Structure 1
Amino acid sequence: MELGMIGLGRMGANMAQRLQRGGLEVTGFDPGAEARARLAAAGGATADSLEALVQALPSPRVLWLMVPAEAVDPVLEQLLPLLAPGDLVVDGGNSWYRHAARRAQRCGQARVAFVDCGTSGGVWGLEEGYCLMLGGEAAALARLRPALQALAPAADRGWAHVGPVGAGHFCKMVHNGIEYGMMQAYAEGFALMQKKQEFELDLAQVAEVWRHGSVVRSWLLDLSAEALQRNPGLEGIAPYVQDSGEGRWTVNEAIELEVSAPVITLSLLERLRSRESNSFADRLLAQMRSGFGGHAVKAANDGP
């Protein structure tokens, strides 16, 4: 099987290499010359334009997009006029699931098949494999089977056709929402242990022991244990947590479907709170306590 990978960032380049290790022929394209050079240095074939990429692939072509969500539509606008009926496009990035139906319709007008693929695995996917959640027609998924088997942790697990177009990105959206909640729970638990100074707990030791036999063991715990071993006090790390947007989509979906999701919602709000260096809300809370109870208000320069 031959495949074109569009987008050679951390995920796309690693996926291209894993596909090659699985015996597939991959040609990669990225607008950045450095990204193309990195893949070439790893033994991968590259093209310096979308036109060259399409010309390098045999028909019917398979093009796998690993680009930011906001770049998918612009790439499709450039790509579709170059394709022919029977070609197949996979959107493997973190796109909003509701965009998948519109993109599938746009591809369908050109008689090009479309598959949305929720992709999990991060920078570890090259060695460990990727978890793939796919939405689309069964015939399109059948064409992709060799690639899915090569990308997944094993040929018979770690990937699934979860439903029609949109279902793959929907499952990945919910996956990321759950991830937010799990990460927040670990962070709060370790913060609680760090604060109990009288026990002088070795947090790296606790994390390591939890990794074996505990009901809370997970890959996130593995990463936490490694981080605490390397930097027990987390020195030099700012308390500022970004979000990719999928947590917000998950919370919005929960509201629309009237599904209670307080843990995921609060974990998202905690990420937003982490970015406040001088919280207006906290200052107003302090003033309200003073107003109704006469509690002292600490001045900004009073120190901790």
Structure 2
Amino acid sequence: APRTPGRAGAPSPAERGWLHCGPAGAGHFVKMVHNGIEYGLMAAYAEGLNLLRHAGAGRRERARDAETTPLAHPERYQYELPIAEIAELWRRGSVIGSWLLDLTAASLLDDPALGRFAGEVADSGEGRWTVQAAIDASVPVPVLTAALYDRFASRGEADYAHKVLSAMREAFGGHVEKKQHG
């Protein structure tokens, strides 16, 4: 990365790719927080690209019943967007450009539908440790927490809760669950 504007003198250790952050464990703590931030960044890209993918919602027929919220302004959602090309554009000078977006653009170029992925996202522990540290220190990290929880949900960990919600809706209002898939 280019030098931060205003820096003078010899390159600092951070500019050379390393930094002594403090006593034993400080560097691991910094890396843990780095990985928590990574979870949030990855989730933001994924959510934004997913919204672009659904920008044509007004072109598709939707159920018209009491269980389906109608699309208020279908005329506003008439787009079939070239997501791979948009990712490529964004990585070339956009404020949200990054190495993660570079990797995403390459994946989308290779397979725009990402068909070889099931969407079951693992977590290797760093996100959990980051959220736990935030709880311990009474520091709100809602984006990082939501990104971690989304990974849990992607693996089916929310399925039972969703079934409970469906059961309650049916019990209190006769809202029969609609079969969306298969």
Report the counterpart of residue 146 of structure 2 in structure 1: 266
Report the counterpart of residue 210 of structure 1 in structure 2: 90
CA distance in 2, matches of 1:160, 1:278: 39
CA distance in 1, matches of 2:119, 2:14: 40
Displacement over 4 Å in runs of 4+: none
Say what the alpha-carbon RMSD is for the aligned residues. Answer: 2.1
Note if 1:167 corresponds to 2:47. no
Correspondence 1:150-189 to 2 at 5 A: 156-189=15-48
Note if 1:234 corresponds to 2:114. yes
Report the counterpart of residue 104 of structure 2 in structure 1: 224
Distance 1:257 1:272, change over 3 A: same
> Contact conserved, 2:87 with 2:105, CA < 8 A, in 1?
yes
CA distance in 2, matches of 1:221, 1:203: 12
> Contact conserved, 2:39 with 2:147, CA < 8 A, in 1?
yes
CA distance in 1, matches of 2:157, 2:25: 38
Which fold has the larger relative contact order, with Cα–Cα distance below 8 Å and residues 6 or more apart in sequence? 2
Distance 1:184 1:303, change over 3 A: closer
Shift of 1:210: 0.7
Which ranges of structure 2 fall in alignment gaps of 5 or more residues?
A: 2-12, 57-77
Identity %: 53
> Contact conserved, 2:87 with 2:104, CA < 8 A, in 1?
yes
| 145, 155, 166: which one aligns with 1:275 | 155
Which structure features the higher share of strand residues?
Answer: 1
Shift of 1:223: 0.6
Report the counterpart of residue 16 of structure 1 in structure 2: none
CA distance in 2, matches of 1:298, 1:206: 34
Report the counterpart of residue 193 of structure 1 in structure 2: 52
Which ranges of structure 1 fall in alignment gaps of 5 or more residues?
A: 1-127, 129-153
Distance 1:228 1:303, change over 3 A: closer
Distance 1:156 1:258, change over 3 A: closer
Query: How many matched pairs?
Result: 150
Q: What's the secondary structure of 2:19's corresponding residue? A: strand
Given the two structures, how large is their TM-score scaled by the length of structure 1?
Answer: 0.47
Larger Rg: 1
- Aligned letter for 1:291? A
Q: What's the secondary structure of 2:30's corresponding residue? A: helix
| 127, 134, 139: which one aligns with 1:254 | 134
CA offsets per residue over residues 101-124 of structure 1, 9 Å max, x none?
xxxxxxxxxxxxxxxxxxxxxxxx
CA distance in 1, matches of 2:129, 2:120: 20
Given the two structures, how large is their TM-score scaled by the length of structure 2?
Answer: 0.76
Correspondence 1:81-120 to 2 at 5 A: none
> Contact conserved, 2:152 with 2:158, CA < 8 A, in 1?
no
